[in-house]
Amino acid sequence: MEVTKTRREGVARGFFWGILVSILLMTGYALVTGGADKPEDKDHGQADLQQQVSQYRAALVKNPKDINTMIALGDIYLNSNNVRDAYQIFLQAVKVEPNNTHVLNDLGSIYQQIARYDEAINSYQLAYNNDSKHSSSLLNMALIYSQHKKEYPKALELLQTFLAGSPEPQLATKAEQEVARIKRIMKKGNDASSAN
């Protein structure tokens, strides 16, 4: 009888502490993030976004070759997954400034999203040629060669060049994981061919 009572007390204490920890975690999250998004916040954010789009479009009517406005508008479209409008804006932007690294990189990203990999590689290559510090273009090319074209030696070459440039840690980790994945694939291929 005493053991059952102790077990119940233990379960009750555990439940209490679990609830307390959950409340503390939720409170900490709310303090750090400002709380959960309210529906009116989302609607307000959408309205702000639409207002920005309208302002940028109006600015482009006045000055159709304003590259900074084109980039800002294109980025809004890309960030809101409006690939079609982003594509149209960046096509206009590349006509205005054919060597703009930002434009070329974002155009490469769009081509990659719509599975036009050769055009994406070309756009990323142009971006990297214009600014070798823009190493994310290398990473993007490497991922296309690895994941879509299955050209592993080329992907490894690009990844090694990318990693040699001391990229930011998160991107370096992604590149290192891809190198390891490619090496596993190539090892399996070598093991299979030597078994034959």
Same domain, 49 and 115: yes
Backbone CA torsion sign across 7, 8, 9, 14: positive
Residues 161-171: what's their mean pLDDT? 93
141 plus 102 within the same structural domain? no
Question: Does residue 34 carry a pLDDT above 70?
Answer: no
What's residue 20's pLDDT?
47
What percent of the chain shows pLDDT beyond 70? Answer: 74
pTM score of the predicted model:
0.71
Give the range of the structural domain holding residue 187, as residue numbers without chain letter.
135-196
Distance in angstroms (rounded) separating the CA atoms of residues 111 and 125: 13
Tell me which of 119, 144, 177 is where a domain ends.
Answer: 119
Distance CA 143, CA 149 (A): 9
Considering the domain boundaries, does residue 3 fall inside one? no
pLDDT, one tens digit per residue, over 83-136 is 999 999 999 999 999 999 999 999 999 999 999 999 999 999 999 999 988 889
Is residue 93 assigned to a domain? yes
Query: Distance between CA 21 and CA 18 in Å, rounded?
Result: 5
> What DSSP designation does 37 have?
P
- The predicted pLDDT at position 120 comes to 97
Residue 82 in any domain: the answer is yes
pLDDT level of residue 6 (50, 70, 90 thresholds): low
The number of distinct structural domains making up the chain is: 2
Which pLDDT belongs to residue 33? Answer: 53
In a domain, 24, yes or no: no
C-alpha neighbours within 13 Å on the C-beta side of residue 126: 19
Residue 75 is assigned to a structural domain of this protein:
yes
Domain-located, residue 21? no
Q: What is the CATH number of the domain that holds 84?
A: 1.25.40.10
Pair 50, 115 in one domain: yes
Considering 68, 88, 119, which residue would you say is the last residue of a domain?
A: 119
Segment 75-92, tens digit of pLDDT: 999 999 999 999 999 999
For the cut 70, the answer to whether the pLDDT of residue 12 exceeds it is no
Tell whether 103 and 71 lie within a shared domain: yes
Given a cut of 70, is residue 45 above it in pLDDT? no
7 has pLDDT over 70? no
Predicted local confidence at residue 190, as pLDDT? 74
What pLDDT does 133 receive?
87
**54 inside domain:** yes
Which of the listed residues 54, 84, 119 is the one where a domain comes to its end? 119
Q: Does some domain include residue 176?
A: yes
